[in-house]
Structure 1
Amino acid sequence: MSANSEGSTKAIFYALGANGGIALAKFGAAIFTASGAMLAEAIHSTADCINQVFLLVGLKEAKRAPDASHPMGYGRVVYFWAMMVALLLFFLGGAFSVLEGVERLKHPEPLKNPMVALVVLGISVALEAFSLYGAMLEIRKIAGGKSFFRWFRETRQSELMVVAGEDIAALAGLAVAFVAVVLSVVTGNPVWDAIGSIVVGILLMAVAFFVIREVKAMITGESAAPEVNEAIRKHIESHPHVDHVINLITLQWGEQLMIAVQAKMQRQGSDQALIAAINEVEESIQAEWPQAKWCFFEPDVDNTTD
């Protein structure tokens, strides 16, 4: 297991453990308090648990060996499961919360035992913060000093991106639910609880939208991260057998990487010497980037420099 995969798995288990406990507590509180915002949060936490199971399934399936039907392996299957998670977050988490809130607006019910809801929400905040802390620890190890927003836009680790997005949405949702319950208690108006459920749903759908957009780009086919692309180019051009790179294409394949290089080579004494030089360059690339499982090298003439 690679370091990146191990880090993602740790973050997923942090989230699964936290959300499992949170979901049980929220369902109990929703029954005791008749809170729509609390029920929406309970459904959200349940959806998160299912999501984390999906991500674990994706990571396991991605490790299947290549076969005749999938000669480049199954690495990109993690993107499919990440998309499933985002859709589940949108519909089961977000849309359900909005519908529940609308129903509560039509048929408002006073809260019962609101202190139970507030205590559960407080505990949930602590557990969710623990999950987010675990995810952020793993992100810092690979972010290379990038801001979280930049890492989110540029990362090719869909599973870790999804976990972080879920945790942030969950913490924001808990804050909204807490405020909604407090306002319902202070004002004696259960409409605030219904509004809280709707706001939580809109928040979850917004986060799901951003996750879907990023995962869509991965499924379509994205290059390696910009800094990796640039490092590969510099590495190739620093090789004594290479004059310069004409074109470089990288394609992220789950955890693995495909590299296609078109380069002008230094003059070699024979065809055999040219082949040996190309093999040497490819070996040096794969030694520097072990995730580069496929490396295709084409020597060519750059007419633009002649």
Structure 2
Amino acid sequence: MAGGANPVKAILYALGANFAIAISKYFAAFVTNSGSMLAEAVHSTADCGNQLLLLLGLKLSKRPPTSDYPLGYGKETYFWSFIVALMLFSVGGLFSAYEGWHKLHEPEPLGYPMLALGVLLFGIVAEGFSMWGCIKEVNKLRGEDSLWRWFRTSRNSELVVIFGEDLAALLGLVLAFCAVLATWVTGDPMWDALGGIAIGVLLIVVAILVGIEVKQMLVGQGVDDRIKKEMIDFVSSQPQVDRVLNFLSMQMGPEAMVALKVKMKPAGTDTALIDNVNAVEAKFRERFPDVAFLFMEPDHHD
């Protein structure tokens, strides 16, 4: 359920920040010969590609239902988000770790450390701006939940991915800054190599966590427990309804499918009963506009 959040805004914040950061990092990595800087440049490039994939997923998910896909294409967003998690693991994490390992065994002196530190500081500021934009959208959804609980229970794959990417990028930039600073102060390029390895491990861990969450959405999670309770309470409160007997749901990107079995109050005739069911459905759709597919079955028992 969207809850007023706009994942496109968070994606565009991240795309703009990462593009600017990637250009500055490649320049600094070429001039300074820093392994940590190159690892961060590749990470930012991978993030730019990832954000384009997320935008593609959002666009594809808006296609109307067809006879082959009667419930629409909402899960496209989950598929492309999972691809992004794989890219974050491979292109970002594994490459960064490899580059750091290579520099550890074949150390090279660090040139122009002040330039590297300046670029990394710029990256921290830009990535902080992107993180602020993401948190702003996340706060529209999480309510009183902690960020960790929101991350574990969210059904919005785009924001989960952007949050994970921004967090990894921000922490990675801090690690790279510390690694370059330590190399400059001590004159030992080992610190730069260790920084690249640490960045790689960080990206791999974040990619695994993001992948786990998106995989659950891709398999077929129901709506969030809080939303589920709101839906059941809303239907139960309708004057035509005796009680809700059963509730099934599936989150499909920004939309959801809901199936209800309810015990209706006596209506006198079959026509009146059908009218009552239709009235409850209409009110339900008005209260929960993100429910694209609603099936309500009157029954006496589950």
The bucket for the TM-score relative to the shorter chain is over 0.9
- Deviation, 1:145, is 2.6
Partner of 1:183: 182
Please list, as runs of the form range in 1=range in 2, the aligned pairs for 1:138-153 lying within 5 A after superposition.
Answer: 138-153=137-152
Counterpart AA for 1:129: G
Against the structure 1 CA distance between its residues 75 and 219, is the aligned structure 2 distance closer, same or farther, given a 3 Å change threshold?
same
Structure 2 equivalent of residue 271 of structure 1? 270
- Aligned partner of 2:163 in structure 1 is 164
- Secondary structure (helix, strand or coil) at the match of 2:6 reads helix
- Percent identity for Structure 1 against Structure 2: 47
- Mapping for residues 100-139 of structure 1, pairs under 5 Å: 100-139=99-138
- Distance across 2 between alignment mates of 1:4 and 1:283: 20
Q: For 2:144 and 2:115, how far apart are their aligned partners in 1?
A: 41
Query: Cα offset for 1:67?
Result: 1.3
8 Å Cα contact 2:2/2:254 also seen in 1 = no
Code of the residue aligned with 1:155 in structure 2: it is S
Tell me if structure 1 keeps the 8 A contact 2:285–2:291. Answer: yes
Instruction: Map 1:247-266 to 2 at 5 A.
Output: 247-266=246-265
Q: Is 2:13 the partner of 1:14?
A: yes
> TM-score, normalised to structure 1's length?
0.96
Structure 2: state its 5+ residue gaps: none
Note if 1:221 corresponds to 2:202. Answer: no
The equivalent residue for 2:55 is 56
State the AA in 1 paired with 2:227.
V
Cα distance, 1:29–1:4 mapped onto 2, change above 3 Å: farther
Q: Match for 2:150: what amino acid?
A: W
Q: Which amino acid aligns with 2:96?
A: S
Q: CA deviation at 1:65?
A: 1.3
In 2, the alpha carbon distance for the partners of 1:131 and 1:48 equals 12
Quote the offset at 1:167 in angstroms. 0.5
| Separation in 2, partners of 1:226, 1:144 | 13
Q: Which residue number in structure 2 is paired with residue 70 of structure 1?
A: 69
Name structure 1 gaps, 5 residues minimum: none
Residues 45-91 of structure 1, C-alpha deviations (whole Å, 9 max, x = no match): 00000000000111111111111211111111000010011100000
Over aligned residues, Cα RMSD in angstroms? 1.3
Take 1:212 and 1:130, find their aligned partners in 2: how far apart are those partners? 24
- Cα distance in 2, alignment partners of residues 293 and 122 from structure 1: 45
Distance in 2 (CA, whole Å) between partners of 1:3 and 1:224 is 11
**Matched-pair contact (CA < 8 Å) for 2:2–2:290:** no
CA-CA distance at 1:302 after TM superposition = 2.5
Letter in 1 for 2:172: G
Give the partner amino acid of 1:42.
Answer: A
| Counterpart Cα distance in 2 of 1:243 and 1:43 | 59
Once the two structures are superposed, what CA deviation does each residue of 1:147-197 show, in whole Å capped at 9, x if it has no partner?
211111111110011111100100100111111111111111111111100
Work out whether residues 4 and 140 of structure 2, in 8 Å CA contact, stay in contact via their aligned partners in 1. no
Aligned AA for 2:82?
A: M
CA distance in 1, matches of 2:60, 2:4: 12
Give 1:298's aligned residue.
297
- How far 1:133 sits from its partner (Å)? 0.4
**2:30 aligned with 1:34:** no
* Separation of aligned partners in 2, 1:278 and 1:3: 26
Aligned length: 302
- Deviation at 1:5? 8.1
Provide the C-alpha distance between the structure 2 equivalents of 1:250 and 1:144, rounded to a whole number of angstroms.
22
SS in structure 2 opposite 1:251?
A: strand
Looking at structure 1, the residues matched to 123 and 21 of structure 2 have their Cα atoms a distance apart, in angstroms, of: 6
Deviation, 1:271, is 1.2
C-alpha distance in structure 2 between counterparts of 1:234 and 1:213, whole Å: 31
Secondary structure of the residue aligned to 1:88 is helix
The 3-state SS of whatever aligns with 2:268 is: coil
Say whether 1:244 aligns with 2:246: no
Deviation digits for residues 231-283 of structure 1 (CA, Å, limit 9, x no counterpart):
00001111111111111111111111111101111122111111111111111
State the one-letter code of the partner of 1:262: K
